[in-house]
Structure 1
Amino acid sequence: MKAILICLFAWLSINLQAQSTAHAGENGKITGKVIDSLTKAPLEYATITVMDKSSGKILTGGASNDAGVFTITGIAAGEYTIIIESIGYQKITLSAVPVQKGKPVELKLIRLVKKDQDLSAVTVTAKAKLIENKIDKMIFNAEKDLTSAGGVATDLLKKVPQVSVDVDGNVQLAGNGSIRFLINGKPSTAFGSNVADVLQSIPASQIKSIEVITNPGARYDAQGMGGIINIILKTNTARGINGNMSLTAGTRAENGAVNFNARNKSFGINAFVSGNTRLPVSTPYTSERNSTDTVGKTNTLLQQDGNTKLKRYGLESGMGIDWAYKKYNSFSVNVNYDIFGTSTRGLINQVQENTTYNGGLLSNLATLNNTNSRNRSHNVDLSFNYKRTFAKEDQELEFAVNSSIGRTQGNAANEQFFMPQDSLYYGVMNSNPGKENQTQITLDYTQPLTEKIQLGTGIKTTILDISSNAVAWGYSPLAKDYVYADALSNNLQYHQKVYAGYAELSFPVGNLFEVKAGGRYERTEINSYYSNAQQQVKKPGYYTWVPSLFLSKKLGDEQVIKLSYSKRIERPDYGDLNPFINTSDPKNITAGNPYLLPELGQRVELSYSRNMGNVGSVILTGFYRHNRQDIQPYVKYYPSLIVGDSTYYNVSVSTRENIGTEDNTGLNVFSDVHLTSKLSLRTNLSFYHRKIFNAIDVGQSRTSFNYRTNLNVTYQFTNLMAGEFFGNFNSARNEVQGRYPSLTTYSFALRQFIWHKKGSLALTATNPFNEYVKQKLEINGPGFTTTTIRKIPFRSIGINFTWKFGKLEFRNEHKDEGGGDENL
Structure 2
Amino acid sequence: MSILAFFPIIGFAQEYELTGKVIDASMDFPLEYASISAKSIEDGSIVNGGVTNREGRLSIKLEKGTYNLEIEYISFEIKVFSNFTIDKDTNLGIIKLGIRPDNLDEVTVVAETTQVEVRLDKKIYTVGKDLTTAGGTVSDALGNVPSVTVDIDGAISLRGNNNVRILINGKPSSVAGFGDQDVFQQLPAEAIESVEVITSPSARYDAEGTAGIINIILKREKTLGFNGSIRGTLGDPKNSGAFVDLNLRTENFNIFTSLGYTDRTRPGNAFFDTKYTGISNFDRIIEDREYDRTGQNFNVNAGVEYFIDDMSSVTASLFTRFGDDRDMTTNTNRRFVNGIENSTTARIEDELEDDKSFQYSMNYEKRFDKENRDHKLTADLQYSSSNETKNGIINENQTLPSDSLVAFQDNLETEKRDSYLIQADYVKPMGDAQFEVGFRGDYSDQTQGFLVQRQNLETGNLETDEFVSSDFDFQQNITAVYSQYGNKFEQFSFLLGLRYEHTQLKGTTTPLVSGNSDRIFDFDKNFGGFFPTVNLVYELGEDENVTLGYNRRINRPRSWFLNPFPSQSSRINVFQGNPDLDPSFANAFDLGYLKRWEKLTLTSSIYFQRETDAFERVERDTGRLTEEDGIPIIENIPINLATEQRYGAEVGVLYNPTKWLRTNLSFNYFRFESEGSFEGIEYGATNESYFGRFSSNVVLPGKIQWQTNAFYRGPRVNAQTETDPIASIDLALSKDFLKDDNLTISLNVRDLFNSRKRDQFTITENFTSNSSFQWRVRQVTATLVYRFNQQKREQNRRSNNDDGDFGGS
TM-score, normalised by the number of residues in structure 2:
0.86
Distance 1:762 1:588 in 2: 42
| 1:569 CA drift (Å) | 1.2
Distance 1:58 1:762 in 2: 46
Check the 8 A contact 1:679/1:714 in 2, yes or no: yes
Check the 8 A contact 2:175/2:319 in 1, yes or no: no
Out of 254, 258, 262, the residue aligned to residue 272 of structure 1 is: 258
Q: What amino acid does structure 2 have at the position aligned with 1:764? A: N
Check the 8 A contact 1:186/1:402 in 2, yes or no: no
Identity percentage of aligned residues: 22
Change (3 A) 1:273 1:610: same
Indicate yes or no: 2:351 matched with 1:381: no
| 1:71 CA drift (Å) | 8.4
| 1:224 CA drift (Å) | 1.9
Check the 8 A contact 1:368/1:417 in 2, yes or no: yes
Alignment deviations for residues 172-203 of structure 1 (CA, whole Å, 9 cap, x no partner): 11111122222222221243377443222222
Counterpart position of 1:366: 344
Check the 8 A contact 1:193/1:574 in 2, yes or no: no
Alignment of 1:694-709 (within 5 A): 694-696=676-678, 698-709=681-692
Counterpart position of 1:548: 533
Indicate yes or no: 2:309 matched with 1:326: yes
Check the 8 A contact 2:727/2:755 in 1, yes or no: no
Q: Between Structure 1 and Structure 2, how many residues are aligned?
A: 768
Counterpart position of 2:777: 794
Counterpart position of 2:581: 596
Check the 8 A contact 2:393/2:410 in 1, yes or no: yes
Counterpart position of 2:332: 349
Structure 1 window deviating more from structure 2 (674-683 vs 234-243): it is 674-683
| 1:60 CA drift (Å) | 13
Counterpart position of 1:650: 632
Out of 491, 500, 506, the residue aligned to residue 527 of structure 1 is: 506
Change (3 A) 1:202 1:718: farther
Counterpart position of 2:607: 623
Out of 434, 452, 465, the residue aligned to residue 415 of structure 2 is: 434
Distance 1:584 1:714 in 2: 42
Check the 8 A contact 1:206/1:257 in 2, yes or no: no
Counterpart position of 1:815: none
Alignment of 1:438-457 (within 5 A): 438-448=419-429, 450-457=430-437
Partner-residue secondary structure (3-state), 1:147: helix
Q: What amino acid does structure 2 have at the position aligned with 1:425? A: V
Alignment of 1:334-733 (within 5 A): 334-340=317-323, 342-353=325-336, 364-391=342-369, 393=372, 394-418=374-398, 419-448=400-429, 450-508=430-488, 510-511=489-490, 513-532=492-511, 534=518, 537-613=522-598, 615-640=599-624, 649-696=631-678, 698-717=681-700, 720-733=703-716
| 1:800 CA drift (Å) | 1.3
Check the 8 A contact 1:33/1:64 in 2, yes or no: no
Indicate yes or no: 2:157 matched with 1:163: no
Structure 1 window deviating more from structure 2 (527-536 vs 778-787): it is 527-536
Partner-residue secondary structure (3-state), 1:205: helix
Distance 1:164 1:719 in 2: 34
Partner-residue secondary structure (3-state), 2:132: coil
Partner-residue secondary structure (3-state), 1:217: coil
TM-score, normalised by the number of residues in structure 1:
0.84
Alignment of 1:109-258 (within 5 A): 109-112=92-95, 124=107, 127=110, 130-192=115-177, 195-252=180-237, 253-258=239-244
Check the 8 A contact 1:694/1:736 in 2, yes or no: no
Alignment deviations for residues 21-73 of structure 1 (CA, whole Å, 9 cap, x no partner): 9x877999997552569999853265768899899999999964424256899
Change (3 A) 1:441 1:554: same
Q: What amino acid does structure 2 have at the position aligned with 1:657? A: I
Alignment deviations for residues 408-458 of structure 1 (CA, whole Å, 9 cap, x no partner): 22233322223232111322221110111111101111123x312221111
Change (3 A) 1:292 1:797: same
Q: What amino acid does structure 1 have at the position aligned with 2:439? A: I
Change (3 A) 1:122 1:352: closer
Q: What amino acid does structure 1 have at the position aligned with 2:655? A: V
Q: What amino acid does structure 2 have at the position aligned with 1:619? A: T
| 1:719 CA drift (Å) | 7.8
| 1:373 CA drift (Å) | 2.6
Counterpart position of 2:797: none
Q: What amino acid does structure 2 have at the position aligned with 1:640? A: R
Alignment deviations for residues 206-226 of structure 1 (CA, whole Å, 9 cap, x no partner): 211111111211111112222
Q: What amino acid does structure 1 have at the position aligned with 2:81? A: L
Distance 1:497 1:49 in 2: 53
Unaligned runs of 5+ in 1: 1-19, 811-824
Q: What amino acid does structure 2 have at the position aligned with 1:794? A: V
| 1:342 CA drift (Å) | 4.2
Distance 1:547 1:61 in 2: 36
Indicate yes or no: 2:721 matched with 1:758: no
Check the 8 A contact 1:53/1:81 in 2, yes or no: no
Check the 8 A contact 1:31/1:69 in 2, yes or no: no
Partner-residue secondary structure (3-state), 1:566: strand
Q: What amino acid does structure 2 have at the position aligned with 1:349? A: T
Check the 8 A contact 2:593/2:604 in 1, yes or no: yes
Partner-residue secondary structure (3-state), 2:560: helix
